[in-house]
Amino acid sequence: MSAYEEGAAHGGADGTLAALAVHGPRYRLGLGAPPPGASGWLAADRLLDPHGPELARLLETEHRGSGHRTAHAAALTLIAVYAGRVTAAAVLHWALTGRVLDVRPGNVLLRPDPGHGIAEVRLRTFRMLDAPETDAESVATVQRTVLGRHLLPLADALRERTRAGLRQLRGGVAHGCATALGASRAAPELLARRWAGFLDGAPGGLAALGDVPTVTRPDGTRRLVYLRRTCCLFYTSAEAVRCASCCLTSRDDRIAAYEGRR
């Protein structure tokens, strides 16, 4: 049993959430209802209504905070940061243990960051979905939970609301899920294998939307990085910078930047 699995095994919900948080801020999850008086929280399942006020609020917060020029550009940025934060802990936990944390939309609350992205995520209830008996069942469960029930329906809702391109939205889904692994401190060899398994037969054509090489940082550490084949248009925002993974930058230049050579 790995150190992560030991931490997750001892203490149930508290042990698992603490073990996830060690990997970085994007994996931190709260549990239960927000504190009394807390405001700004949204129920993830309400975001799947393309014409609902919750999705309008989330989209407008990103639109205003990032300084995007159009709603469809805000949608493309939003789906990537959403996938890289709201479901990141579940993707990482599955990669390290084969178990799937319940991040179905009805079990998730989130608070948008007024500047950019998602500030906080909470689970209504801590629950693991049924333990799969085989790797194939494990993959099917995480794909169904993270993609089929949550991220891809959100992409569809954003498509209907803003007319953003569906391929680009799904590229943001793939990017967010991949960076959920790449930002972790876990061994890149393990994560690369798990990412390949996650993509195998994944809905939405995600496998064609980017690739995941391993790079070596100046300090000698190795990690996965995601090289996109779609664009989130963040460079058109008030930030006016390209993402490190931007498909408008050559592959060699992106890898060099990730390795700290540029």
Task: State the CATH number of the domain containing residue 40.
Answer: 1.10.510.40
Q: How many CB atoms lie within 10 A of CB 17?
A: 22
- Asked if residue 251 is part of any domain, the answer here is no
- Asked if residue 254 is part of any domain, the answer here is no
User: Is the Cβ–Cβ distance between 170 and 209 less than 8 Å?
Assistant: yes
Q: Is 6 helix (H, G, I), strand (E, B) or coil?
A: helix
Token pair in block for residue 211: 């690739």
Q: Answer whether 0.85 is exceeded by the pTM.
A: yes
- Asked if residue 185 is part of any domain, the answer here is yes
Q: What are phi and psi of 211, to 5 degrees?
A: -140, 165
Those residues whose C-beta lies under 8 Å from the C-beta of residue 70, and which sit 6 or more positions away, are 236
CA angle (197, 173, 80) in 5-degree steps: 135
- Asked if residue 224 is part of any domain, the answer here is no
Q: DSSP H helical segments within the chain, as ranges?
A: 3-9, 12-21, 53-66, 71-83, 88-97, 135-142, 152-162, 166-182, 188-199, 251-258
78-90 CB burial, b ≥16 within 10 A, e <16: bbbbbbbbbbbbb
- Asked if residue 27 is part of any domain, the answer here is yes
- Asked if residue 172 is part of any domain, the answer here is yes
What is the chain's pLDDT, residue by residue, as a tens digit (262 residues)? Answer: 455 555 565 558 999 999 999 999 999 999 999 988 889 999 999 999 999 999 999 999 999 988 888 998 999 999 999 999 999 999 999 999 999 999 999 999 999 999 889 999 999 999 999 877 788 999 999 999 999 999 999 999 999 999 999 999 999 999 999 988 887 778 888 899 999 999 999 999 999 999 999 999 888 888 889 999 998 888 888 777 788 888 889 999 899 988 887 6
Looking at the structure of the chain, the number of domains it has is 1
Task: Indicate the angle between helix axes 53-66 and 71-83, nearest 10 degrees.
Answer: 100
The parent domain of residue 139 ranges over 3-203
Q: Is 107 helix (H, G, I), strand (E, B) or coil?
A: helix
- Asked if residue 58 is part of any domain, the answer here is yes
- Asked if residue 123 is part of any domain, the answer here is yes
